Amino acid sequence: MPSNKTQNPILCADWLLPIASPPIHQGGVVIEGGRILAFGKAEELCRRFRNLPRQDFPGGVLMPGLVNAHTHLELSLFKKQMALPNDFVSWVFELIGRKIQLTDSDLESSVRRGLRETLTAGTTTVGDITNIPRSLSILQESGCRSVLFREVLGRTGEETVPWMEKVAGELHSMEARAGERVTIGLSPHTPHTLSEERLKALAAYLKEKSLPYAMHIAESEAEKDYFQSHAGALKSRLFPVIGWGNTPDPEAFGTPFEHVRRMGLLSDRLVVIHGVYLTSKDLDHMQEAGARVVLCPRSNHFLRVGTAPIREVLQRGIPVGLGTDSLASNTSLSLWEEIRFLRDRFSEDPFITAERLLSMATLGGAEALGLADKIGSIEEGKEADLIVVECRGKNGNELAARLIEQTTSDKIRMVMVAGEKLPLQ
């Protein structure tokens, strides 16, 4: 893990953007033991902590690092390789065909490549879905903060009890090795790629273990059709090809989210990924349980699956984060590009403001991953996960809009996690 601790505890910039409170012109942050000791006007901080040196970032904005709350770093080698799909199932077929050709070494290289792109874009925390053991050590070496979700799937194969024992054993081993910056979680892949028996076993396990867990739910119309009518492209095209043609359908009809709830997987630790086809009733249950959601708008656009009900989710106060998803369904791992896409898509909606979008990419992502007590905003006692973005201007009311409009990776001047500066190359 990098050990380049800052030698200038007072970080000062033209603007300080705490996210949870208004912007501060000529602001600064004091760091002690990797945490934020104080923040405010730079001059006042320098008087209070007169024995500490300072580092200035003229023309810069000091703000929390971004939180990419959903990605698959092991698929980063697929950047600009996937064809624009005709439909969701066609994309799944291409992804399976490409992924089975990759070696463990390819997948490890892919994680490293994805992390480089992630950090240089100003992201300090990732919610990463993994299928390879080495992801944990690679994340630790990078210094990036993460929630690492071990993905599981399968409708057929070995009996559920020994399968669940293996899953539990692997998660226990990962937790023992995780360290301070990596939180271990579980990712039941989707409602349709796990049998009811396995979903119930996972639900029982998660009732005993306080792990965060993320699941792709209500992502596509094909998934919606399968659960509502036990028909459609998943059943007729996908399942027969991958050996699941004779597996039983769900016992009941309903939405994908209702199936997850019936299996016992709804709780305040559930992270719903995508949620394009969440209904108002689904959102009622999410709101009541305290579940979270991570939206991946560019991925949804690439896969032609539709647009999540972002306004309704936000208005209900459900914690909302942003994710890039993988480079198998997106063109970059930059959350700035994700934010700009949403800004342009909802340019006529006064509710989707620049400030709200930046909050989704920072504090919202932290809330979605269960890390809001540690990161996502500049507040005393929180971890010093910070970035400096080159962005000039004198009007604080337009700061969020300027950042969204102007920020690219070459504008990121510093990335810091827990008070340690991370290399940008």
Q: Is residue 1 part of a domain?
A: no
Whether residues 349 and 407 share a domain: the answer is: no
Whether residues 187 and 323 share a domain: the answer is: yes
**Neighbour count for residue 22 (Cβ, 10 Å):** 12
Whether residues 224 and 166 share a domain: the answer is: yes
Whether residues 25 and 90 share a domain: the answer is: no
Whether residues 399 and 252 share a domain: the answer is: no
The SS3 of residue 90 is helix
Q: Is residue 218 part of a domain?
A: yes
- Domain with 51, as residue range(s), is 10-64+377-421
| Predicted pLDDT of residue 377 | 98
Q: What are the pLDDT digits (tens) for 163-195?
A: 999 999 999 999 999 999 999 999 999 999 999
CATH number reported for the structural domain that contains residue 303 in this entry: 3.20.20.140
Q: What are the pLDDT digits (tens) for 302-332?
A: 999 999 999 999 999 999 999 999 999 999 9
Whether residues 287 and 299 share a domain: the answer is: yes
Q: Global pTM?
A: 0.96
Q: What's the token pair of residue 183?
A: 């939180």
Q: 216 pairs with which residues across the strands?
A: 273
Last-in-domain residue among 351, 368, 385: 368
Helix 221-229 / helix 88-99 crossing angle, nearest 10 deg: 110
Q: What are the pLDDT digits (tens) for 223-266?
A: 999 999 999 999 999 999 999 999 999 999 999 999 999 999 99
Whether residues 206 and 277 share a domain: the answer is: yes
Whether residues 139 and 84 share a domain: the answer is: yes
Answer for the pair 339, 404: CB distance below 8 angstroms, yes or no: yes
What are the backbone angles phi and psi of residue 94, rounded to the nearest 5°? -65, -40
Whether residues 24 and 110 share a domain: the answer is: no
The percentage of residues in the chain with a pLDDT greater than 70, rounded to a whole number, is 98
The contacts of residue 34 (CB under 8 Å, 6+ apart) are 383, 384, 418, 419, 420
Q: Is the pLDDT of residue 1 over 80?
A: no
| Predicted pLDDT of residue 8 | 56
Q: Is residue 104 part of a domain?
A: yes
Question: Which of 32, 152, 121, 44 is closest to 327 using CA atoms?
Answer: 121
Question: Which of 351, 349, 347, 323 is closest to 337 using CA atoms?
Answer: 323
Whether residues 114 and 242 share a domain: the answer is: yes
Q: Is the pLDDT of residue 6 over 50?
A: no
Q: Is residue 216 part of a domain?
A: yes
Answer for the pair 375, 65: CB distance below 8 angstroms, yes or no: yes
Whether residues 123 and 231 share a domain: the answer is: yes
Answer for the pair 122, 338: CB distance below 8 angstroms, yes or no: no
Answer for the pair 416, 65: CB distance below 8 angstroms, yes or no: yes
The domain total for the chain is 2
Q: What are the pLDDT digits (tens) for 406-417?
A: 999 999 999 999
Q: What's the token pair of residue 396?
A: 């604080």
Cα–Cα dist 377/375, whole Å:
6
The percentage of residues in the chain with a pLDDT greater than 90, rounded to a whole number, is 94
Strands (E), 42-193: 54-64, 66-71, 123-130, 145-152, 182-188
| Predicted pLDDT of residue 3 | 43
Whether residues 401 and 321 share a domain: the answer is: no
Mean pLDDT of the residues in the chain? 95
Last-in-domain residue among 349, 368, 387: 368
Mean local confidence (pLDDT), 70-97: 94
Mean local confidence (pLDDT), 82-101: 93
The contacts of residue 101 (CB under 8 Å, 6+ apart) are none
